[in-house]
Structure 1
Amino acid sequence: MSKTWLEIAGAVLDSVDSDRDIFSGGLNAAKSDYEEKKRILHRITLILFIICAASIVAKCFLL
């Protein structure tokens, strides 16, 4: 689920008075899970980029 939809759902739930705590708790958990996955994927992407850049540099210097 994208961050935009999570924010829209949060705004809708904030405007509703009944049973808001149950839904808000679940939404906050989903937001934190989304942010955690995003950080992990950014780290993986950075590591892969560094590996690719190092292999290109090594190939240029060895050939």
Structure 2
Amino acid sequence: MNIGNVLFQLIMFLLLIGLSSVAFVIVRSALKRNSTNKTMERKLDRIIELLEKEKN
């Protein structure tokens, strides 16, 4: 085998792994952000509820 072919295949393999990793990280962070937003929303709803009770 030619050394150029080996290097090309190695670079393409690393590129494939890199792109897959980036896609995985983006999806994981998007899902985590959505979960964090729901948690924050629940906390804010609880604070609003307590403030309304205090007001009455």
Q: Give TM-score scaled by structure 1 length.
A: 0.68
1:36 and 2:27 equivalent?
yes
Higher helix share: 2
Alignment partner, residue 40 of structure 2: 49
Aligned length: 47
Q: Which runs of 5+ in 1 are unaligned?
A: 1-16
Q: Give TM-score scaled by structure 2 length.
A: 0.76
Instruction: Please say which structure displays the higher CA radius of gyration.
Output: 2
Paired-residue identity, %: 4
Q: Which has the higher contact order (CA 8 A, sep 6+)?
A: 1
Q: Which runs of 4+ in 1 moved over 6 A?
A: none
Alignment partner, residue 3 of structure 2: none
Q: Which runs of 5+ in 2 are unaligned?
A: 1-5
